[in-house]
Amino acid sequence: MQEQEVAKIEVGDGAAIPTPDDRGLVSAWWIALIGAVALLVLLPVIKPDPYLNILRFVPDGILITFQVTVLSISLAIVIGLFTGLGRISSNRLINLVASLYVEVVRGIPLLVQLFYIYYALGRFVRVPDLVAAVIAMAFCYGAYMGEVFRAGIKSIDRGQTEAALSLGFNNRQTMAWVILPQAWRTILPPVGNEFIALLKDTSLVSILAVADILRRGREYASESFNYFETYTMIALIYLLITLVLSKLISIMEHRLSHYERR
Amino acid sequence: MNAIEVSIQPLEERMMKALFAALSLLVALSTPVLANTTIVFATDATWPPMEMVNDQKQVVGYSIEYMTAAGKEAGFTPVFKNTAWDGIFAGLDNKKYDAIVSSVSITEDRKKAMDFSEPYYTVRQALIVPKASTAKSLADLKGQKVGGQIGTTGYFAIKAAEGVEPKSYDEVGLAMEDLNVGRIAAVVCDDPVAANYALDKYKDTLKIAMVIETGEAEHYGVAVQKGNTKTLELINKGILAVKAKGLDKELMQKWMGQ
């Protein structure tokens, strides 16, 4: 009975993740996907100048966007795991440090954090632009991720911990071998959601002169003055990426709950 | 019946009066003073000494005083609107302001999208490098990152140079800071701006390596929407009067010290 109740953490800042039983959202997903693909294909065919030129100009920006996203999320997961553990730690100092980190990061806008790490700390620590961007994004998302981990760990019934401890596991072993493997199933879907949210937020790094999708678009527009056409294509590219990713996460979520049901 | 009508009419009248008053106030607020035409100029005040924000948060600089003097000569009141460079041309296109005075070099590509006034200043592109650098031209910087402000002729020059990795910034000041901390090898921008940064703000760490000879000098012009001849004529009248009186020389003395 109890195994069927899977705790879900709702973090809505990534994208609307379609679930198979949500008919409204599923059809909206299809319409959006077909619309985005159709426009991305039709516009360059109908009007190669400037639409095809824009599509030729931005691909290296897409690569940079993914690079920043994947590196940042990997680092953020590591930071998040330790922050989550720190937040539930009974050691008051560790708990305070982790909580302080979460409070500080959540209280400062991401854009300000980016400026701070890049330009303010740039005077003392000389890191390449891409590294600075990744550190800033991971620093910010590590705090959010920490909250996801904390909630995921807390969702595991206390009986599990008690059972493990009574079997002679120590605290660390209990966390590593009993709690975390189960918490992963609860944690993974919101992590996927954070991945999409982070991908969208990487558009902010264009302010640091990192040549991501948005930066490439702005460069194209500033030279050609085709603002409408350029930003239409940029928006469609982001939309297509997040639509595909949200579908992948939905499939992953479905698989996980399937496993849970058995 | 009668009583009701009597009581309603004054109310209606009062409402109409109030409405009329409100409308006329609205009209008065929205129409420019006809006696002296107001021209709203967009300017990206991050380009010292041409246009910048001083410590009293006012937009000041050579171009600002130049247009103010031109306004006095031609009979228009300039209003300066601090606008981010990235999108300044889109704003003109969307009629958010009448003109741009923001160190816009007159180029063939830009002429296709907007109309330009008489030139009011002449510049060349300058290459700024750290004091220790031995680079004398963009050709010496092959394989290295060179920064410029997005959508400027300086950035276009970097893009046109072979083997150099161009990097575009929102503001030239951010590019200078990146050069200062060593993330990029050089910055290209208009020579008065280069002088302002390399000889003043960053005089201990940066220097001007050279002034790029791009064949011909670049001229700054005021940009207006295509076909807006009325505004253009007024501005041209002012610019020519300023030149004729030699006021531009005084301003150069004041802002560039030359």
Nearest CA in chain B to A218: B86
Range of the domain at A206: 20-261
Query: pLDDT of chain A along its 262 residues, tens only?
Result: 444 555 656 555 666 676 667 777 778 889 999 999 999 999 999 999 899 999 999 999 999 999 999 999 999 999 999 999 999 988 999 999 999 999 999 899 999 998 898 888 888 887 888 898 999 999 999 999 999 999 999 988 889 889 998 998 988 899 888 888 888 888 888 898 899 999 999 999 998 889 999 999 999 998 888 999 999 999 999 999 999 999 988 888 888 776 665 4
CATH of the domain at A186: 1.10.3720.10
> Chain B residues within 8 A (CB-CB) of chain A?
86-87, 89-90, 93, 109-110, 113, 147, 150-151, 156, 167-170, 174-175, 177-178, 181-183
Topology of B37-122+219-255 in CATH? Answer: D-Maltodextrin-Binding Protein; domain 2 (3.40.190)
Across B77-86, B109-118, B196-205, least confident range: B196-205
Closest chain B C-alpha to A108 CA, distance in angstroms: 21
Burial of B9 (0-12, 13-18, 19+ CB in 10 A): exposed
Q: What is the pLDDT of residues A132-184, one digit of tens each?
A: 899 999 999 999 999 999 999 998 888 988 999 899 898 889 988 888 888 88
Question: In the prediction, which pLDDT does B150 show?
Answer: 95
Nearest CA in chain B to A126: B181
Let me know if residue A11 belongs to a domain.
no
pLDDT band at B137 (very low <50, low <70, confident <90, very high): confident
Q: Collect all residues of chain B within an 8 Å Cβ-Cβ radius of residue A209.
A: 147, 167-170, 174-175, 178
pLDDT at B14 over 90: no
Nearest CA in chain B to A129: B183
Mean pLDDT (chain B, rounded): 88
- Share of residues in chain B with pLDDT > 70 (%): 87
pLDDT band at B6 (very low <50, low <70, confident <90, very high): very low
Mean pLDDT of the B81-97 span: 92
Q: Collect all residues of chain B within an 8 Å Cβ-Cβ radius of residue A211.
A: 167-168
DSSP states of chain A: -GGG-------TTS-----TT-HHHHHHHHHHHHHHHHHHHHHHHH-HHHHHHHHHHSHHHHHHHHHHHHHHHHHHHHHHHHHHHHHT-S-HHHHHHHHHHHHHHHHS-HHHHHHIIIIIGGGT----HHHHHHHHHHHHHHHHHHHHHHHHHHTS-HHHHHHHHHTT--HHHIIIIIIHHHHHHHHHHHHHHHHHHHHHHGGGGGGGT---HHHHHHHHHHHH--HHHHHHHHHHHHHHHHHHHHHHHHHHHHHHHHHHH-
Question: In the prediction, which pLDDT does B18 show?
Answer: 73
Question: In the prediction, which pLDDT does B214 show?
Answer: 56
Size of interface A-B (CB pairs under 8 A): 47
Question: In the prediction, which pLDDT does A184 show?
Answer: 85
Mean pLDDT of the B10-25 span: 69
Identify which of A86, A129, A87, A135 has the alpha carbon closest to the alpha carbon of residue A110: A135
pLDDT at B45 over 80: yes
Domain B37-122+219-255 shares a fold with domain B125-212: yes
Domain segments of chain B as ranges = 37-122+219-255, 125-212
Tokens of B140: 């010496």
**Span B125-212 CATH architecture:** 3-Layer(aba) Sandwich (3.40)
Let me know if residue A230 belongs to a domain.
yes
The tally of domains found in chain A comes to 1
